[in-house]
Amino acid sequence: MEFLRPATWDEALAAKAEFPTALPISGGTDVMVEMNFDVHRPSAILDLNRITELRQWEITDGVVRLGASVPYARIINELSEPLPGLALAAHTVGSPQIRNRGGVGGNLGGASPAGDAHPALLAAGRDVFVEVASAARGTRMIAIDDFYVGVKRNSMEKDELILRVHIPVADGPQQFSKIGTRNAMVIAVCAFGFALHPKNGTVGTGIGSAAPTPRRAVAAEEFLQGVLAERGLWESGDLLGAEVIQQFGELVKAAASPIDDVRGTADYRRHSLAVMARRTLTWTWNDYSKQIRSAA
C-alpha cells in the first residue's frame, strides 16, 4: 500500500491525478473504521493532514468557506452562530475524540446516507456548494443538490479532491434532530435538518438515513413556503397552526424512502421523521416569531 503525504494542495492534486484510486484520509474517523473492518484495502492512501487550507474557514460576502478538514469540534466552538444547523449536527457526531478529528469533507467524500452533516447542508439552502478540484481541470463548484448521486456515491471525478464547502451565513433559525437508540455516540437511524431563510422567503429541509442518498423534502418545502407567503407569516410571525405543522410533517415523511435494517424499521423512520419535522419547524418558527416581535 502506497502512503502519500503531500505538503501542499497542488501536490495533493498531483498525487490524486497520479493515483486516482488513492483513498484520501484526514481525520480517519470513517476511513480507518472501514479499513479495520476490511471493507477497503486501497492501493494507496492520500494523507491530507499537512495541507493547512483544509483546516481553515473564513466568512466572505455572507458565505462561510469551510475547509474540508475543519473538525466538528471547531464547527461547534467557532461557527455555531453563522452555521447553527451544521453545529447542531456536529454535536451529534460520535464522541469528543471523533469530533476532534472528523470534518465535513469526510462526510461528503464518503457520501453515506447516514452522514450527520448532510441534512444540515441540504437545509442550509440552494446556495451551498462543494468546491472540488483536480490537477487537470482546476476548481469547480458542485451544488449540494447535485452532489449526492447514490448509496455512498457522490458526483466527484476520480482525480478530484474536496477543498471546502460554501455555506451561506444563516439568515434565520435552523435546527437539526437525529434519532439514535442511545443518548450519545450513535449512528443515525434517521435525521432531519430544517432551516428558515426569511431573506428569500424559502425554507430548507434535509433528510438523513431514510433514502439511498441524503435528500430534501421538496414538496414539504414548497407547501410551507406557499403557506408562509400566502398568509403573510414571514412579516407577521403569527402562529402556524397545528394543521400546517401536521401537514408539513406528513410531507416530510412522504419524501423519505427508507428501508428496514438492524438500526430500525422503515415504518419507524417515516414516523420519527414526521415527528422531528413537526418539532424542528415549531422550534424554528417560535424563534423566528420572537425575533419578529422583538424587532417590532
Partner 1 sequence: MSTRTIQGQKNLQDIRTGSPDGIGGSPLRPDGTLKVKGEFAYSSDLWHEDMLWGMALRSPHPRANILSVDISEAVKTPGVYAVLTHDDIPGAKFYGLEIQDQPALAKDKVRYHGEAIAIVAADHPETARRAVKKIKVEYEVLTPIVTEEQCLNPEVYGYVHEPHEFKSHGHGNICHSQKLVSGLGVTDEVRAMADVIVKGEYEVGMQDQAFLGPESGLAVPSEDGGMDLYVATQWLHVDRQQIAPVLGIPEEKLRLTLAGVGGAFGGREDLSMQIHACLLAQRTGKPVKIVYARDESFFGHVHRHPAKMYYEHGATRDGKLVYADARIVLDGGAYASASPAVVGNAASLGHGPYVIPNVRMDAIALYSNNPSCGAMRGFGAVQACFGYETQMDKLAVALDMDPVELRQLNAMSEGDYMPTGQMIDSPAPVAELLQRVKDMPLPPPLDLTNLDVRTLPGALSNTTHGEGVVRGIGYSVGIKNVGFSEGFDDYSTARVRLEVIGGEPVAMVHTAMAEVGQGGITVHAQIARTELGVEQVTIHPANTEVGSAGSTSASRQTYMTGGAVKYAAEAVAQALIEKGRKRYGWTHNDLSLIGGKVVSESAGALVSMVDLLGDDAIDLTREHHHRPTVPFDKETGQGFGHVQYTFCANRAVVDVDVELGLVKVVELTAAQDVGKALNPLSVVGQIQGGCTQALGLAVMEEIIVKDGKVRNASFTDYLIPTILDVPPIPVDILELPDPNAPYGLRGVGEAPTVSATPSIVAAIRQATGIALNRIPVRPEHLTGTL
Residues binding partner 1 (CB under 8 A): 33, 36-38, 88, 91-92, 175-187, 189, 262-265, 267-268, 270-272, 275-276, 279, 283
Q: Which is nearer to partner 1, 132 or 179 (CB)?
A: 179
Q: What three-state secondary structure class fits 22?
A: coil
Q: Which is nearer to partner 1, 72 or 148 (CB)?
A: 72
Tell me, what amino acid is at 67? G
- Shortest distance, position 188 Cβ to partner 1, whole Å: 8
CA pair distance 80, 90, nearest whole angstrom: 10
Q: Which is nearer to partner 1, 33 or 218 (CB)?
A: 33
- Shortest distance, position 69 Cβ to partner 1, whole Å: 22
- Shortest distance, position 137 Cβ to partner 1, whole Å: 36
Q: What three-state secondary structure class fits 200?
A: coil
CA pair distance 180, 272, nearest whole angstrom: 11
CA pair distance 62, 56, nearest whole angstrom: 16
Q: Which is nearer to partner 1, 52 or 95 (CB)?
A: 95
Tell me the backbone φ, ψ of residue 49, rounded to 5 degrees.
Answer: -70, -15
CA pair distance 115, 104, nearest whole angstrom: 9
CA pair distance 247, 233, nearest whole angstrom: 17
Q: Which is nearer to partner 1, 95 or 139 (CB)?
A: 95
- Shortest distance, position 246 Cβ to partner 1, whole Å: 13
- Shortest distance, position 143 Cβ to partner 1, whole Å: 27
Q: Which is nearer to partner 1, 67 or 172 (CB)?
A: 172
CA pair distance 240, 225, nearest whole angstrom: 12
Label residue 18 left, alpha or beta by phi (over 0 means left) and psi (-120 to 50 means alpha). Answer: alpha
What letter does residue 170 receive in the DSSP assignment? P
Residue 208 C-alpha cell reads as 438523513
Q: Which is nearer to partner 1, 66 or 273 (CB)?
A: 273
- Shortest distance, position 263 Cβ to partner 1, whole Å: 7
- Shortest distance, position 276 Cβ to partner 1, whole Å: 6
Strands in 2-4's sheet, in edge-to-edge order, are 2-4, 44-47, 23-25
Task: Please state, as a whole number, how many other Cβ atoms lie within 10 Å of the Cβ of residue 286.
Answer: 14
